Amino acid sequence: MAGARGSFARAAVTIATLALCATSGTALAQQAAAGDAKRGKELSYTCLGCHGIDGYKNAYPMYSVPKLEGQHPEYLAAALHGYREGDRSHLTMHSQASTLSDQDIADIAAYFAGAPLLSSGKAQGTLPQAAQLCTSCHGADGVAIAPIYPSLAGQHADYLARAIDEYRHGGRKNPIMKGFASSLKDEDVVAIAAYFARLTPGLKTENRPYTALGE
């Protein structure tokens, strides 16, 4: 009986999460969908200093800079808004995002997304117990079920672990993710990150570097 109540509670939380995120993300989704990728390319030259180098690491603490190509532009726009507004704690990203207008953000998101991943709708291998609730939003194959959520397939495991840890400890101020992440043990975080990181096809490091002088 207790297990049934727990399952019902988790389902109720998931439904509420989907409804809340869908409502709050509508404006950002509409704006990001109207982003100009060509202009975004022109604006993104500083972004490529980190996100255009395969294997590049953030320092202090050290973890992999996230892959962006294949991500939904709506999510990338939401993330940049979070850095700009201080809902995500990262000094360099805040400094970069604070100079951007809403349209700048939409354009950069459109450029970096490229062609977003397409879902197969199927899990790959054994889904860890700790990751089962994650798939309600992020998909069994790591491709988000809605554009406002991040796709996780192929993302660096150490970056995913870092992101979850920031939700657990307040570095990212998302009350829904904090609620999910706060119940996770360290070994759960490792299992979740490892599962999504190995999924294919996955996100990629932006590999279209350019200079101000041309292609």
**pLDDT tens-digit readout, 98-152:** 999 999 999 999 999 999 999 998 888 899 999 999 999 999 999 999 999 999 9
Which pairing describes strands 63-64 and 57-58: parallel, antiparallel, or unpaired?
Answer: antiparallel
11-197: CATH number: 1.10.760.10
CA dihedral 159, 57, 76, 92 (to 10 degrees): 120
pTM, two decimals, is: 0.83
pLDDT tens digit sequence for 49-73: 999 999 999 998 999 999 999 999 9
Cα separation values, 116 from 40, 70, 111, Å: 16, 4, 11
Lowest mean pLDDT among 4-8, 137-141, 147-151, 155-159: 4-8
> Across the strands, what pairs with 63?
58
CA dihedral over 141, 53, 158, 171, signed as positive or negative: negative
β-partners of residue 64 are 57
User: Do 177 and 148 touch, CB atoms closer than 8 A?
Assistant: no
